[in-house]
Amino acid sequence: MASPQRSADFGTLAADAYERVRRTERLRQELATITGTAASDDGLVRVRCTPLDGVAGIDIDPRALRMASSELGGTLVRLIREAHQDMAAQMRQATADAYGLPFDPDAVPDPQALRARLTGASALARDTAGDARALVEEIRRRR
């Protein structure tokens, strides 16, 4: 039969998993509302980016059309990049806020710590499955 410690551990794991699912769903909804923005120094050219649409909008004041085409093109490319970077920064912050830790998508987890956690979870699952089999056998014997 499951020991009280193992049952408590499984209950904690289940509660933690549920909480992560809840946070992830809330984060997914929040990420969908994020808009990165950038504007030229004079405010004549503005760009908006969203996670779903990429470039979601470009506003060009007619006065900006007085620029040389290469200058306007360069300004657009720069602002698109800046709006995308703004959006990415907001997404990283939202993720950090959701999970209560800094989020670095390029960070590589410590393989030994990850292995230890997975080994512990695997052992707990094996023990719980073994306890469940023993309980089923006990019920069969009593019939």
Q: What would the pLDDT profile of 46-96 be if each residue is shown by its tens digit? A: 999 999 889 999 999 999 999 999 999 999 999 999 999 999 999 988 988
Q: Of the candidates 3, 25, 44, 17, which has an alpha carbon nearest to the alpha carbon of residue 98?
A: 25
Query: In this predicted structure, what is the pLDDT of residue 142?
Result: 76
Question: In the 3-class helix/strand/coil scheme, how is the chain assigned residue by residue?
Answer: CCCHHHHHHHHHHHHHHHHHHHHHHHHHHHHCCCCEEEECCCCCEEEEEECCCEEEEEEECHHHHHCCHHHHHHHHHHHHHHHHHHHHHHHHHHHHHHHCCCCCCCCCCCHHHHHHHHHHHHHHHHHHHHHHHHHHHHHHHHC
pTM confidence score: 0.61
pLDDT per residue as tens digits for the range 107-142: 656 777 767 777 777 776 677 777 777 777 777 777
Confidence of residue 103 (pLDDT cuts 50, 70, 90): low
Please give the Cα distance from 98 to 132 (Å, whole number).
35
Is pLDDT at 5 greater than 60 in this prediction? no
- Half-sphere exposure of residue 27: CA atoms within 13 angstroms, side-chain side: 18
